[in-house]
Amino acid sequence: MRPAIIATFLLAFFSLAASAADLGRVENQFFTIRDFRLTNGTVMPEAKIAYETYGTLAPNGRNAVLITHGYTSSHHAAGRNPANGDNPGWWDGLIGPGKAIDTDKLFVVSSNALGSSAGSTNGASLNPATGKPYGSGFPAITMRDIVAAQKALLDGIGVKHLVAVAGPSYGGFLGFQWSVSYPEMMGGVVAVVTAPRLLNVEKSLADLQARLATDPNWNGGQYYDKGGVAPVMTEIRVETLKLFGIEATLAEKFPEPAAREAEIRRIAEKWAGNWDANSLIILRRATLGYDTMPDFPKIKAKLLYVLSRTDKLFPPTIAPDTMKALKDAGVDARYFEIDSEFGHYAGNADLDWAKWAPALREFLAPLVAGAS
């Protein structure tokens, strides 16, 4: 190969690498909503929402993407946040300069959910009426309330229109809810390893509450001065991680079953020491009645629905009925299946993100162009 050709190749290679650079350091930000009225009429004197942003908001406020997170995840979706141990965000492979969600063009807002213990007002937060943690007295919020709080955040920071709402798992629930609650607000929805409705939530909520009550410190959810409930939370987390597919994700690094089991338990114990048990109930309870399918005719956004071949929570077998319902409602929707061995974790950027990033980029391209 001639030197000029080699030089051209190297220039192109390094230009591509530079265009997909990391975001670097990001920081927690907080937005407070005063007198936040819930769908049941309850008024929260104060609702704080934690979030991160990446990129720059355009003067017209129309180049934004909202990122929504999983059930027990956080809003740390990209870059490296000192508050999260400087670890890369869970969609770091997808969000950043030159990446599928390109922060050279887009202003990305990753919002924590109201009720989550990753920084927003939650069960461990002080109730202004009592001066003590809310605990089991936290208001019964719904998916609509979580989305309404995110809408208030976006309004407060100057976002006028969303190129898309995108998120995995519980974040996908919120994406579907966004599409029917504020159909004029976004151009697209990216719903990953998720579903537009949930069944049997009453039973799963009752089972969760019963499981937490087995800890002697539970005290009806008022456990904050009792020493915590880390043991039962650890066991819940171990079971959840295995259901999500963590054994497959750790198999290469920990080929021996005993070592793999020890690593799973280490991860679970660390999580249990940082997560508020009441937030599990708050966010699970918020999905009571969650069913966006009857409202599909309201959807005006284009939709990308992404599932994982090996996901036990949301298997690809649910896709045909969902896609048919979307089509029958006149929604412009497309489906992509990740050919992954990593189950529910396939939707995470640090695993099989490269398998579906091209589909995400292609889906977003016309929406990004239309926002400029």
* C-alpha–C-alpha distance, residues 288 and 283, integer Å: 10
What residue type is assigned to position 98 of the chain?
Answer: G
Taken in order 137, 278, 288, 163, the sign of the CA dihedral is: positive
Which residue numbers are catalytic? Answer: 169, 311, 344
Strand order of the β-sheet with 64-68 is 29-37, 43-54, 107-111, 64-68, 162-168, 186-192, 302-308, 333-338
CA 195 to chain centre: 13
**Considering only CA atoms, which of 138, 110, 164 is closest in space to residue 283?**
138
* C-alpha–C-alpha distance, residues 341 and 5, integer Å: 40
* C-alpha–C-alpha distance, residues 28 and 83, integer Å: 7
Q: Would you tell me how many other CB atoms lie within 10 Å of the CB of residue 11?
A: 10
3-state secondary structure of 139: coil
Alpha carbons within 13 angstroms on the beta-carbon side of residue 140 total 8
**Strand spans (E) along 6-121:** 29-37, 43-54, 64-68, 95-96, 101-102, 107-111
* C-alpha–C-alpha distance, residues 146 and 153, integer Å: 11
Pairing of β 43-54 and β 29-37: antiparallel
- Coarse DSSP helix, strand, coil percentages of the chain, rounded to the nearest 5 percent: 40, 20, 40
